[in-house]
Amino acid sequence: MTKPKNVAVNQAIELKPLEIKEETLDTAPKTENTELVIYIGDSLKNGKLEQFTVFNNGIPKFLAEDIEKCPAINSLILPISQLGESRQKLAIQGTMEHTLNSQITQYVRSEK
């Protein structure tokens, strides 16, 4: 498991979207170096992806279509170590997290 980094309050943290892995959560091998990631955006329709869902072996394949249609979904799947700061920014208009979440909200509303 990776050690958490100490970050100054005014220091910027670069958010890096995660790549979709070929494995699904059911078939992905478990390793000690896998960091948990969490989705912080709005929930998708039909319970396909709920806000604050945690993944422990990458992003499952069943989300690939939604991520292709709305790349902001992938951008709001972050290492769990960034949850606190990113969750705060989600509520602040003008931040990257808020803007990405607005794109997800529009995508969810447009889906039938």
Residue of 15, 108, 105, 17 lying closest to 59 (CA atoms): 17
**46 — pLDDT class (breaks 50, 70, 90):** confident
% of the chain with per-residue pLDDT over 70: 70
Identify the residue whose tokens are 């003008």: 94
Q: Considering the domain boundaries, does residue 3 fall inside one?
A: no
Q: What are the two backbone dihedrals, phi and then psi, of residue 79, each rounded to the nearest 5 degrees?
A: -60, 140
Q: Is residue 32 part of a domain?
A: no
Q: Do the beta carbons of residue 72 and residue 104 sit within 8 Å?
A: yes
In a domain, 5, yes or no: no
For residue 26, name the pLDDT band (cuts at 50, 70, 90): very low
Which is more confidently placed, 97 or 21? 97
Of 20, 21, 78, the C-alpha closest to 51 is 78
Residue 35 has pLDDT above 60, yes or no: yes
Q: Model pTM? A: 0.69
Among 68, 65, 2, which residue's Cα sits nearest to residue 33? 2
Position 67 in a domain = yes
Structural contact between residues 78 and 40, judged by C-beta atoms closer than 8 angstroms = yes
d(CA 14, CA 63): 24
Q: What is the mean pLDDT of residues 33-56?
A: 90
The single-letter DSSP state of residue 26 is: T
Look at residue 59 and tell me if it is in a domain: yes
Q: Has residue 50 been placed in a domain?
A: yes
**Assigned domain for 20 exists:** no
User: What is the span of the domain harbouring residue 106?
Assistant: 37-110
Total domain count for the chain? 1
